[in-house]
Amino acid sequence: MTALAQITVTELDLDAIAAAPGRVSVMVTPDGKMSPAARRINRLTKGALARLVESPAFEKMKEGEAKDLAYPVGMAASAVQVVKLAHQASVELCRKAGAAIGAALDKEGALVLPGSLKRVEELALGMMLRNYSFTAHKTLDEAPVAPAVTLAVAKPEAVDLSTVTALAEGVFFTRDLVSEPSNVLTTVEFASRLTELESLGIKVEVFEEDRLAELGMNLLLSVGQGSVTPTKMVVMTWQAGGDEAPLALVGKGVVFDTGGISLKPAAGMEDMTMDMGGAGTVSGVMKSLALRKAPANVVGLVGLVENMPDGQATRPGDVVKSMKGDTVEIINTDAEGRLVLADVLWYAQQTFAPKAMVNLATLTGACVVALGHENAGVFSNDDAFCASFLKAAEAEGEGAWRLPMGQGYDDLLKSNVADMKNVGTRWGGAITAAQFLKRFVKDETPWIHLDIAGVASVASGTALAPKGATGWGVLALNRMIDEMNKEG
């Protein structure tokens, strides 16, 4: 797994600043007030820091942004990074500032001087999340080394990075899974990596095709009929919240999606290595929960499959019986993610009787058309449960927007030969996909469907991630789980 920046928290030593190697990052408030560490740097650099702070360039900087003083006179550092940040800065701004530090980190590491900043942990989280680069398949002159960061504060005992480190580990796990090419992250390899989570106290069970057939999970199996890669379901159980019913997280894990017989266009098909993004997020959440020993009961279920065309592949027009017992006319084999989720959703309810359920999937291009790459599509049968997620997503800065559902959309799924079709018309495609999934959710089960097609992997960097896999949803779901536990 890609390694996090290694952060050590120590007591501030002003005399050690001059000899610190690598980079030195120092906070200066928007009104230009300097901490003792900043004043020491200013003296060492013969007033260079003050000249920057008093310049129009500093005035134009937005809070959370940073500028470098390269090769400062009087210091061993290669650069002094000046970060504009108030002592009482918000979580969002602290993470933004941390991301500015993290994006600039190199193998030489850094000394970070936050001064009187109140939310040092959030600064550290932003630093860790932004300092990510997936290099597993690049030929490098030397092996990548996680940068070492020293966080020097007045009271080291007051800074606890254990929770934010666990969250960052979960995000990195998700990003690594989403970034892997499909010839590496096969369903077999995916299941193997999830089995390794047992070392953290998660119970992991892998369901092979014969077991899936016994359970009647024919929709899931139909997606993988054209691939030599075996279809699997992996169930991860974290039981640390007593005897109450668990929250179920269900993820679509299509490790590669050609569209099947309904073949996708060649342009952009290489991006379909990320079509397991929902399963990746579920996996990252489960890892974070275990690492931080969250007092919660959560079960994560992922359907792992590859959608390929060959002589055994499902054909448009085929009718398949689901685990629930309903029959589905498969009009378009490229609308396969909902078939994967349908059986896994039903299994989760039948087996665990969850108190609530969330499924995640890179499900529809229609959702990207509707919301772009700023927000995931949110659909739900329960207003209060949906509101709890939206609140958590907003607090974590992870864009999410609720879209409507209704009988008119559901009617578009009527089939002449089966209980339903797997697609509607061209219009409202993200919504008809959600309506399809809702048919496999019991009325008494609070449920949220998250269409993350536009946010799981992006072409340009975000506030806390470079371009590529984002790990969207790990932070929001962790927060929602904590809030649900507080409410009992």
Q: Enumerate the active-site residues.
A: 264, 338
In angstroms, rounded to a whole number, what is the distance separating the alpha carbons of residues 161 and 164? 5
- Look at residues 320, 325, 318 and name the one whose alpha carbon lies nearest to residue 346: 325
Report how far apart, in Å, the C-alpha atoms of 314 and of each of 185, 218, 260, 354, 482 are: 23, 11, 8, 32, 41
Contact status, residue 89 vs residue 97, Cβ threshold 8 Å: yes
For tokens 């055994």, the residue is 312
In angstroms, rounded to a whole number, what is the distance separating the alpha carbons of residues 99 and 452? 23
In angstroms, rounded to a whole number, what is the distance separating the alpha carbons of residues 399 and 97? 19
In angstroms, rounded to a whole number, what is the distance separating the alpha carbons of residues 72 and 77? 7
